[in-house]
Structure 1
Amino acid sequence: MNKTALIVPLLILISCSVLAEETTTAVNTSHNLTPNTNSQPANTIRIDTRPEILGLWGMNIPNNKKCIELYNFRGANEVVVNSGEEWSVGLFDYQPSPDNTMEKLPALIMQIKYENNKVDCSGQQENQAGEVSQYFVRWKNNHTINFCTSEKEDKCFATLHRVLP
């Protein structure tokens, strides 16, 4: 029998065996969710939660049907508000209700850091830089919220609708 004829199948068998071992090792390490008892680092699952209010919300202004005031609640607790020609940038803190009960409404605090001092949707021009506002948030559904001055339903003054997640 020819030596070459024996060597080629042997090389193929060895390379397949090595590939199968590498693939098995990769699969096993990438799905290792058990506590690590040796010196190798364990793979962990990281769960990040985000406030449910994050996203772009719009509010129709009653006396100006053509103008929509937009609130963009972004990551890192940043909020951008656009109303007509006015742009404001600030920080927000959203405190959900404990245990998701409706007994106590979620609270929203916003602090405006900068604004361009232009005319807003209501026709007003007022520099709000440095102002801090606190609202209670009444969720009607996943796409509609009310801003309220107290936890009472009759103290709600603005309805916002989700524009983007």
Structure 2
Amino acid sequence: MRFIENEILERIGFDFYCDIANNIVKARAEMGWTQKKLAEQSGIKPHRLVGIENVKIRIDLDDLEKLSKVLNRSVDWLLDAELEGGGKECLYLVWSDSSPCLKLYQRATSKRMAFMIYDRKFKECHVAYSSGRERHFVQLVGVPVSTAEIQKKFKKRVTDDLPIEPD
């Protein structure tokens, strides 16, 4: 992983959940399923699915994974995620607008997935956000480095015993 200087932030708020809801509805419609059928197939309670599709409640990564399986779509597609680093795992900083001093590093393939993993951690810690209007920010800070990139920057190793010299 190598540091990347990047000031571009993804803001996670209401629009983020609207994008996900639209993609769920689109995939469900393409399969010709009702909300009830999708709820049965995915194991998500019908009232919860209605809340997710109507953007009344936050969807979590567990529900996204269930939906992606039965809708034959990737979680990234449902998230409308832009894969960075060629789809390889990158390093992101994620934080909320109410706690900008608590920035957490997260490995993921996209900013949106980084937020969903961050959100899962909050759920596992049994804590809630400050309010229903809580907004989050995600910033790319590290990208994968290939073997070829490293080999291009350094001389070839000819022995396993590398010398050490005093300063």
- The verdict on a shared fold, with TM-score over 0.5 as the criterion, is no
- TM-score category of the 2 structures, normalised to the smaller one: under 0.3
More strand by share: 1
More helix by share: 2
Greater C-alpha radius of gyration = 1
With normalisation by structure 1, the TM-score equals 0.22
